[in-house]
Amino acid sequence: MRAPDPQVTARLQALGGGARSEPDSVDVPAPSEDDLAWAPPVSLSGYLKASLRARLPAPLREGRWDPGRRGLVVIAVLGLVAVLVAAAVVVRSRAHPVAAVRPDPPPGASVSSGPDPLAAGVTVLVDVEGKVRRPGLVTLPAGARIAQAIAAAGGALPGTDTTSLDLAQKVTDGQQLRVGEPAAVPGSTAGPSTGAASALVNINTASADQLDALPHIGPATAAKIIDWRARHGAFTSVRQLQQVPGIGPSTYEDIAPLVTV
Amino acid sequence: MIAPDLRLLVPAAACWLAVWLAAPWRPGWQIGAALGLGAGAVAGCWRGLALAAVVALLAAGAGLASSGLRAWARTSNPVAQLAAVGADVDVRLQVTGDPLVRDGTAHGRAYHLVIVPAQARALASDDGRAWRLRQPVLVLADDSAWSTLQPSQSVTAAGRLAPPRSGDDVAAVLDARGPPVHADGPSLVQRAAGHVRVGLRHAAAALPGQRAALLPALVDGDTAGLSATTEAEFRATGLTHLVAVSGENLAIVTGVVVGATRRLRLAPRAAAAVTLAAIVAFVVVARPSPSVLRAAVMGGIGAFGLVGGQRRRALGGLSAAVLLLVLADPGLAARPGFALSVLASLGLLVLAPGAAAVLARRLPAWLAAALAVPLAAQIACSPVIAAIGGGLSLTAVPANLLAAPAVAPATLLGVAAAVCAPLSSGVARAAAWCAAWPCAWLLGVAHEGSRVPASIVPWPSGAGGALLLAALTVPLLVAGRRAILRS
């Protein structure tokens, strides 16, 4: 028989003696009695391990697997760094509440380019008139209150009676506020209590019949609006109408100018 | 022969597998499992467990910790909370990847959908609350203005938030209304990359038919112009890796750069720096897709190997790349592109040499070596392809064998066209014209290959299909090897 390949011998010894091996060379010799006598299988698991190993593709069989102490240290450090990096990502991604998001206006667009729905969504433009220090247009975060609008206009002049205004009420985009004067503007400036005088349907207080009267809204959709209102408490903006099932973009566009919150 | 370096193979596989399996878990479970694995590693070290096992436990634990912490950050923030109730928001975004355009019909209606990966930087909800944050979101839009965005651009948009699909590593999906409002342009680096991409597209535009679209796809993964038919043909013949820019393209480019530094007799440090710069430039231009990242990190490790004057040890490099990438971005673990890229490389390194030796018994050596490459890659990848519903392609091996000679010329001429485009459009067009020939060959291979009857055998998708295929492949390989050797 062939002289035993020293590489194979070394490998068999490394395996704890155990098994028939398939050398790389393609002419597979049958295990001779010599071989078996020299390396009897010590145990079933040892035999399986060795025979599995012998069937592995050459690069996996001959490679160096043991990471050693150095490998342990390298992986430990690498793992620690990975966890620290992940923690840093968590810290960096945290949400910080801010008073308002003021996205930079797009180049060339001025504040008065009102119809831009995206810009209008984040900030609202309100005309504060009457007895304030700086009457005129003020830009406010969406959802701001009348009190904030008055403050943004420099505050009410001393001695002005603001009790006729519901200072906690939210302003809407394009609204005109008259401070210290009887409310002359119909609709949006008036609170829900004066809804009777309003041409707009308040979707938070309207009955099913009132909603039914809106274009494209039938009794079924009206019921869904009321259902949404019941489940979510109230509409905080007209845009939330779009979350009601059955109100698509075209319906929404038609009814949005006719309703308020 | 130097013994292959497999020291990182087990920890890398353990880390990848753990993160992949745990991806659908709640963050708390992932972190809990990470702590358990860490404790197991310490106890194992104490009890004298084999070092390889201790290291594997540590690597898996670190991967789970990294993945769990990130998942926790993604799920407990205003974006995710507002998405859960389907709120309307205004949001300021930074685009993080190329917009993807999907045209099609669903329920009898034509749709045009633009998908943009982005990071939400600021968020305002309808009830007047607002936050500054950094959370990944996926924008779905129907306005085509979204498709012109480039990575690094900041935009504002309005829309409705929705929860992401399970397994998507974003905090929410933004159903955008209307066009984005541009706040600023792309960064300097991204603008340069955009120039290169557009330059290549222009240089290729004069080529006839789908060649004009294939060249940018081949070089930088810019598949915008590719027709659905061509894409389907490449998929049917297992050539998709050419269209979606793959690690192979990066390897070809890196190989040429390394060859050039050798020819110029650059000092090892300078050579490594040049190679790294080329890799970074390629990643920026071709976008950091999972397979490009895999190849880039492997190439980067190889470049560091150059500094030490060591022979590059590819298996060790692949293991290290997998470990580093999964630790740094656990989302990669579940991406099919990442799995395909890693498995194809593994197939080439582990199976191809043996396959070539066995095949050489029956075939001329050159043909055996050429056939072993697509065979090994296909054997390694087909379970994953089956898992993602791609069936079992019977034409993939012959198609890849036929395509192989054209890939390197097409890629290199395309890269030359892209590099020259900002300098001279004439030179770029000439290079693109030369690249049209290999491109035509690739298109022909895909077209003819897809016409072969039963080119794709239907196969059950999902993990079951993958396991079944893998379980059938192993005995088949052993039997095939034995049959060839015995005869």
Higher pLDDT, A20 or B154: B154
With b for 16 or more beta-carbon neighbours within 10 A and e for fewer, the B289-314 pattern comes to bbbbbbbbbbbbbbbebbeeeeeebb
Q: How far apart are alpha carbons B16 and A29 in whole angstroms?
A: 40
A64-121: per-residue pLDDT in tens? 777 778 888 888 899 999 999 999 999 988 888 886 544 444 444 434 333 333 333 4
Q: Give pLDDT, residue A187.
A: 40
Q: Do B51 and A28 lie within an 8 Å CB cutoff?
A: no
Among B128, B180, B181, the residue with its CB nearest the CB of A142 is B128
**Tokens read off for B231:** 């894409």
Residue B236 is encoded by which pair of tokens?
A: 């049917």
Cβ distance B126 to A117 less than 8 Å, yes or no, reads no
Among the partner-chain residues B4, B58, B361, the one whose CB lies closest to the CB of A76 is B58
Q: Quick check: B203 and A126 in contact, CB under 8 A? A: no
As a whole number, mean pLDDT of residues A132-157 equals 79
What is the distance in angstroms between the Cα of B130 and the nearest Cα belonging to chain A?
5
Q: How many angstroms separate the CA of residue A216 from the nearest CA in chain B? A: 21
pLDDT band at B227 (very low <50, low <70, confident <90, very high): confident
Q: Which pLDDT band, with edges at 50, 70 and 90, does B32 fall under?
A: very high
What SS3 class is residue B51? helix
Contacts of A86 in chain B (CB under 8 A): 65-67, 69-70
For residue B361, the chain A residues in CB contact (below 8 A) are: 26
Q: Is the predicted pLDDT of residue A34 greater than 70, yes or no?
A: no
Residues of chain A with C-beta less than 8 angstroms from the C-beta of B75: none
Asked whether the beta carbons of residue B73 and residue A90 sit closer than 8 angstroms, the reply is yes
Mutation site, B76, B127, B375, interface A, largest A CB count within 10 A: B127
Please report which confidence band the pLDDT of residue B174 belongs to, taking 50, 70 and 90 as the band edges.
very high
CB-nearest to A236 from B127, B181, B350 is B127
**Selected residue of A73, A122, A172, A241 to mutate for chain B interface (largest B Cβ count, 10 A):** A122
Give the pLDDT band (50/70/90) at residue B87: confident
User: Do strands B392-393 and A176-179 pair parallel, antiparallel, or not at all (unpaired)?
Assistant: unpaired
Question: Nearest Cβ partner of B6 from A64, A75, A100?
Answer: A64
| Cα distance between residue A179 and residue A230, in whole Å | 34
- Rounded Cα distance, A101 and A141, in Å: 7
Backbone phi, psi, residue B81, to 5°: -65, -40
pLDDT of residue A100: 55
Mean pLDDT of chain A: 69
**Structure confidence at residue B64 as a pLDDT band (50, 70, 90):** very high
| pLDDT given at position A113 | 36
In this prediction, residues A172-182 reach a mean pLDDT of 74
What was the pLDDT predicted at B18? 94
Mean pLDDT of chain B: 86
Pair A201, A211: CB distance under 8 Å: yes
Determine, for residues B8 and A71 on separate chains, whether the beta-carbon distance falls below 8 Å.
Answer: yes
CB contact under 8 A, B353 and A85: no
CA distances to B125, B216, B233, B406 from B438, rounded to whole Å, are 53, 13, 17, 5
Task: Determine the Cα–Cα distance for residues B440 and B257; give it in Å rounded to an integer.
Answer: 26
Contact A55 B182 (CB under 8 A): no
- What is the torsional sign of CA B476, B478, B481, B485? negative
Is A99 in contact with B130 (Cβ distance < 8 A)? yes
Q: pLDDT tens-digit profile of B123-158?
A: 988 877 888 899 999 999 988 888 888 888 899 998
Q: State whether A82 and B328 contact (CB < 8 Å).
A: yes
Q: What is the pLDDT of residues B12-31, one digit of tens each?
A: 999 999 999 998 888 999 99
Query: Is the CB of B69 less than 8 angstroms away from the CB of A90?
Result: yes
Distance (Å, whole) CA B152 – CA B185 = 8
ipTM (interface pTM): 0.82
**For residues A124-145, average pLDDT:** 78
Candidates A78, A97, A116; nearest CB to B327: A78
The percent of residues in chain B predicted with pLDDT above 90, rounded, is: 21
State residue A191's pLDDT score.
39
Binary contact (A75, B59; C-beta < 8 A): yes
Long-range contact pairs involving A187-190 (C-beta distance under 8 Å, separation at least 24): A187/A260, A188/A260
Give the per-residue pLDDT at A16.
Answer: 44
Residues B174, B161 contacting (CB under 8 angstroms):
yes
Q: What's the whole-model pTM score?
A: 0.70
pLDDT at A39: 52
- Which two tokens mark A206? 């309207």
- Nearest by Cα to A76 from B27, B304, B44: B44
Tell me which of B1, B5, B6 to substitute to probe the interface with A (most A C-beta atoms closer than 10 Å). Answer: B6
At A104 the pLDDT is 45
Instruction: Tell me whether residues A67 and B1 touch, CB distance under 8 A.
Output: no
Cβ pairs A/B, distance under 8 A? 203
Residues of A in contact with B132 (CB under 8 A): 95-96, 98, 101
Q: How far is the C-alpha of A106 from the C-alpha of A7, rounded, in Å?
A: 72
Q: Which residues of A touch B77 (CB under 8 A)?
A: 93-95
Q: Confidence band (pLDDT; 50, 70, 90) for A46?
A: confident
Please give the backbone phi and psi of residue B162, each rounded to the nearest 5 degrees, phi first. Answer: -135, 155
pLDDT average, residue stretch B448-473:
86
pLDDT at residue number A122: 62
Q: What is the pLDDT of residue B172?
A: 93
Q: Lowest mean pLDDT of A62-76, B33-47, B135-149, B198-212, name the range.
A: A62-76
- Strand B172-184 versus strand A136-141 pairing type: unpaired
Tokens of B5: 């370096």
pLDDT in the model for residue B58: 92
Q: Is the confidence at residue A21, as pLDDT, over 50?
A: no
CA distance B123 to A122: 9
pLDDT at residue number B478? 84
Q: What is the 3-state secondary structure (H, E, C) of chain A?
A: CCCCCHHHHHHHHHCCCCCCCCCCCCCCCCCCHHHHHHCCCCCHHHHHHHHHHHHCCHHHHHCECCCHHHHHHHHHHHHHHHHHHHHHHHHHHCCEEECCCCCCCCCCCCCCCCCCHHHHHHEEEEEEEECECCCEEEEEECCCEHHHHHHHCCCECCCCCCCCCCCCCECCCCCEEEECCCCCCCCCCCCHHHHHHCCCEECCCCCHHHHHCCCCCCHHHHHHHHHHHHHHCCCCCHHHHHHCCCCCHHHHHHHHHHEEC
Q: Please say if the pLDDT value at position A236 is more than 80.
A: no
What is the total residue count of chain A?
Answer: 261
Nearest by CB to residue B122, choosing from A69, A92, A101, is A101
How do strand A259-260 and strand A176-179 relate by DSSP bridges?
A: unpaired
CA atoms within 13 A on the CB side of B353: 12
* B159 min Cα distance to partner chain A (Å): 9
Interchain pair B127, A237: CB under 8 A? yes
pLDDT at B247: 79
